[in-house]
Structure 1
């Protein structure tokens, strides 16, 4: 799943210059889309899993 493409589909582009900040902001936006019933549970869980793994991998690189 490409989370950035999912967010772009809803007109959201997130780039703060800080990868961890980007991941956290994307998590917030995905959570809001789910709470507003714009995306389903499967999309929500998939996106959150991808973001958590990406954030963890980035932190391990540093």
Structure 2
């Protein structure tokens, strides 16, 4: 898995579509859904770890964007 789209496609295979409204919230919900799929043993450890790495990376990017917006007063 290389990007967020790949994780979305993985979740889609199981009928899971995530759209909360904010990208960072979508990433967090995707992580929860991924945890549930892993606990149910319907995805491999390799898929799970790969997807979690992508989500962690994307979450950090979004956190940095929010921090920059707060530091600059939302400009």
Range of TM-score over shorter length: over 0.9
TM-score, normalised relative to structure 2: 0.79
User: What is the number of equivalent residue pairs in this alignment?
Assistant: 62
Q: Give distance in 2, aligned partners of 1:61 and 1:25.
A: 19
Q: Give distance in 1, aligned partners of 2:57 and 2:29.
A: 15
CA RMSD of aligned residues (A): 0.7
Quote how far apart the aligned CAs of 1:20 are. Answer: 1.2
Corresponding position of 1:3? 7
The unaligned stretches of length 5 or more in structure 2 are 67-75
Alignment of 1:1-62 (within 5 A): 1=1, 2-62=6-66
Which one has more relative contact order, counting CA pairs under 8 Å at least 6 apart? 1
1:45 is paired with a residue whose SS is helix
